[in-house]
Amino acid sequence: MASELKNLSVFDTPVPSAKGMKVAVVVAEWNSEITSKLLNGAVALLEEKGAEVFVHSVPGTYELTMGCSIVASHYKADAVIAIGCVIKGDTPHFEYICSGVTHGLNMVAVKCDIPVIFGVLTVNSQEQAEDRAGGRLGNKGEEAAATAIKMVDLKFGLK
């Protein structure tokens, strides 16, 4: 696995300033023991870099698509970060949720013409989730925040 070789909280290139950026974060309540840690990591980095941050929650990971669409439009956000956690179980539910959210968030990005960042853990076990939510592999929320900042910087840098 790629993340087994890299700490999610260590960035290869510097994260630029986010001063003046408006970033909406939509977090799933399901698996909140994990998503709250991802949210804290994302918000901490965004605020450290100077972004204005808006946080809203949705019941589960599947609802992230609609939640991101709503907040992207309401806040005229420069970027939206979707935070969730889906842990594989014994049924195909995992595949349906992950596929639907992946495609849905991509559609929101295209429709709203802003970066929509996939900060969703799709893991095989609780241990893998914990490793990526501030554990031994860093924090995927921080990585999502850095990605949002870099994508907004790219978009505005090209204008």
Catalytic residues: 93
Strand pairing class (22-28; 52-58): parallel
Q: Measured between alpha carbons, how far is 133 from 30 in angstroms, rounded to an integer?
A: 14
**Residue 119 pairs with which residues in a beta bridge?**
83
Dist CA 98 CA 143 (whole Å)? 19
Cα separations (Å) of 82 from 1, 5, 69, 155? Answer: 22, 24, 10, 19
User: Distance between CA 120 and CA 38 in Å, rounded?
Assistant: 9
Closest to 60 measured CA to CA, from 98, 27, 11:
27
